Copies of this chain bind each other. A is one copy, B any other.
Amino acid sequence: MVPTVEWKDGVVRILDQSQLPDKVEFVDCRDYETVGLAIKELWVRGAPAIGIAAAMGVALGAQAVKAADYDTFRKAVGAIGDHLAATRPTAVNLFWAIDRMKRRLDALKTEPIPVIKQKLIAEAQAILDEDIAMNRAIGKHGSAVIGDGQTILTHCNAGALATGGYGTALGVVRAAWEAGKKIRVVAGETRPVLQGSRLTAWELMQDGIPVTLITDNMAGTLMRRGEVHVCVVGADRITANGDVANKIGTYSLAVLAHAHDIPFYVAAPSSTVDLATLSGDQIPIEQRNPREVTHVRGKEAIAPEGVEVVNPAFDVTPAKLITGIITEKGIFKPGELADKMRSR
């Protein structure tokens, strides 16, 4: 699998996912502003991956800061973190990763600035490495809910491409596949940005895991025909009560799964859990450019000029529709998640 985000020879190298599946192209970000643009423009996307990219952006920006004393340095790096935090409002991993970088910076107060700069790179790298390890743990736990011969419906891309590697929802798929289960994935294309068709289908085909692509509105009829056994999706933010913000369309799938008695799982690292937010209705939902809806991939127009559009990037699935939340620490009921996270 190609790396989504990596620190390479002093630059942050980001796979430009907006070009997939046509082209596998990388952007070498030489300043933190370019990392911010990469997040905003969805060259890198997926809650864990944007957290990693932001952490690397903080480390990259820190290298260029010319400061004689710690306080000046701290202030400049803090501002870089704030800039990166303003790129997208919904995924909590973004804020989590930037906060972690700032905490690390605080802890390194007594070190010489050149040493701090090196240790910030190491911290960003640690966030990436830990993410992959967490995804493997998520996969290991989650594999238990996937039966041999089952078909898994997923939405958007919660795969290697959305993370440091291996994936969350697709980590569960990969772990089941690696355990020898004969499974199949149904990938919803995920309008408007088509992460399902462009990324999930591509990623699974690269690994030889059977995948069938559908338009989002086909999910219900497949469920009714008994052709979906379990749903597994990722998350951009999970609130204290177990509500889940994820890619637009997730809520509709959860309602459909509930109506057909199909288990509905959310797979996410604990950095996605936002205990400070009590319930899903308090999550800010990013409204994106109407052009994502009216044009396909920014080019082909598919709607009349000037039509009114709404384009929420995410929706909220209430805890009651979620069978379980698969984390690196195990699988929990949405209602018990907060306690489990606090006791870690």
| Interface residues of A, Cβ cutoff 8 Å to B | 21-22, 188-192, 194, 197-198, 201-202, 205, 210-222, 224, 248-249, 251-252, 255-256, 258-259, 293-294, 296-297, 299-310, 312, 315-316
Q: How far is the CA of A219 from the CA of B251 in the complex (A)?
A: 9
| Complex contacts, A306 vs chain B, CB 8 Å | 205
Contact A309 B212 (CB under 8 A): yes
Which of these, B190, B201, B299, contacts A217 with CB under 8 Å? B190
Contact B307 A201 (CB under 8 A): yes
| Complex contacts, A294 vs chain B, CB 8 Å | 197, 213
Contact A213 B300 (CB under 8 A): no
Q: Is the interface of A mostly helix, strand, loop or mixed?
A: mixed
Which of these, B224, B256, B309, contacts A213 with CB under 8 Å? B309
Q: How far is the CA of A210 from the CA of B302 in the complex (A)?
A: 18
Contact B198 A302 (CB under 8 A): yes
| Complex contacts, A256 vs chain B, CB 8 Å | 252, 255-256
Q: How far is the CA of A303 from the CA of B299 in the complex (A)?
A: 15
Contact B213 A308 (CB under 8 A): yes
| 6 pairs of residues in contact across A and B, judged by CB atoms under 8 Å | A22-B301, A189-B302, A197-B293, A202-B303, A212-B309, A220-B315
The answer to whether A303 and B201 touch (CB under 8 A), given A213-B308, A214-B309, A293-B215, is yes
* CB-based nearest B residue for A219: B252
Contact B308 A211 (CB under 8 A): yes
Q: How far is the CA of A217 from the CA of B215 in the complex (A)?
A: 9
Which A-B residue pairs are the 5 nearest by beta carbons?
A: A217-B249, A220-B252, A191-B215, A221-B315, A197-B303
| Complex contacts, A297 vs chain B, CB 8 Å | 300, 302
| Complex contacts, A218 vs chain B, CB 8 Å | 248-249, 310, 312, 315
Contact A300 B303 (CB under 8 A): no
Q: Which of A218, A219, A259 has the most CB of B within 10 A?
A: A218
| Complex contacts, A21 vs chain B, CB 8 Å | 303-305
Contact A293 B252 (CB under 8 A): no
Q: How far is the CA of A248 from the CA of B224 in the complex (A)?
A: 13
Q: How far is the CA of A214 from the CA of B303 in the complex (A)?
A: 11
Which of these, B192, B197, B307, contacts A205 with CB under 8 Å? B307
| Complex contacts, A304 vs chain B, CB 8 Å | 21, 197-198, 201-202, 205
| Complex contacts, A224 vs chain B, CB 8 Å | 251, 315
| Complex contacts, A212 vs chain B, CB 8 Å | 308-310
CB distance from A253 to the nearest CB of B (A): 8
| Complex contacts, A259 vs chain B, CB 8 Å | 255, 258-259
Q: How far is the CA of A100 from the CA of B249 in the complex (A)?
A: 43
CB distance from A37 to the nearest CB of B (A): 23
CB distance from A151 to the nearest CB of B (A): 12
